[in-house]
Amino acid sequence: MGIRNISVKVGLVLLTAIALPLTSSAYFTNAKAQENGSIDSAKEVENVSDNVDQLLGQTVTIRGSIDKVMSEEAFILENQPFPQDVVDKDRVLVINTSDSSIPGLPEEDDKLQVRGTVGKFVLADVEQKYGLDLNDELYVDYENKPVIFANYVALSPEPREITGEPDYYYNKSVAVKGEVSKVLGTNTFTIGQGEVIESVDKVVGEDNLLVLNQSGQPIPAEDKDIIVTGVVRPFILKEIERDYQLTEDLEVRQKLEAEYSEKPVLIINRIYSSEE
């Protein structure tokens, strides 16, 4: 089991505002920065199936763990493990309809954030509309059940997973859920898990991940639970100054370089408030 897969599965989260698609990256479809002064909220939902009539046709964003990979285009997201005989309890089928295909199958237990439109799955209609050739037998239990036609898919690791295995995440789009640990300056802060398990941190990585805010939104208060989306890069001060707006003064920049040089930094384009 890889380092990035040892974390407990996260709940499905319905974001009440739409995350915009990102610019292209090496792995998943990414998102463009949006100039927005507000912080959008995210709310936990027990079951997309229970809300399908209300959500039908709406664009939603959810986070969860991959329960089953159906094909290169489809997988099942869930909020927590359930017995095998429970087919659709807190599970939802996702069809990747983004312009950029995922190069290589995602792994089961990988945590993802996806954005797309809620519909009802009708195999024949889906195959015709999206030009897919799906295995009929695999989708029998999902006929007329909820489906999300995703146009945005991103890895959704914990902060300590990125700090523990940064090379895996560099130049990839991610959606990270955590707590604002410390505001460092005008547009930098750290995000962590809140409750730190020392034995886990020694294996995985430091709890706090450096964040560079390029969203145009204000940095939330410390201890605020949030979800942020963006791209992971190594913190090399000259490159960050060249490619992004770093508004910190000289003293803060020197401290950042001393503490975070060549460590991962998450360049974010959107902030959500996570309400549980």
Percent helix, strand, coil in the chain, to 5, is 20, 35, 45
Q: Who contacts 253 (Cβ-Cβ below 8 Å, separation ≥6)?
A: 237, 241, 246
Superfamily holding 159-275: Nucleic acid-binding proteins (2.40.50.140)
Q: Which fold has domain 3-155?
A: OB fold (Dihydrolipoamide Acetyltransferase, E2P) (2.40.50)
How far is the C-alpha of 244 from the C-alpha of 185, rounded, in Å?
15
- Other CB atoms within a 10 A radius of the CB of residue 232 amount to 23
Parts of the chain belonging to CATH 2.40.50.140: 159-275
Question: Over the stretch 53-97, which tens digit does the pLDDT of each residue have?
Answer: 777 888 888 888 888 888 888 988 886 443 333 334 578 899 988
Question: Over the stretch 143-190, which tens digit does the pLDDT of each residue have?
Answer: 998 899 998 888 889 999 999 999 989 998 899 999 999 999 999 999
Determine the average pLDDT of the residues in 39-52: 50
pLDDT of residue 28: 32
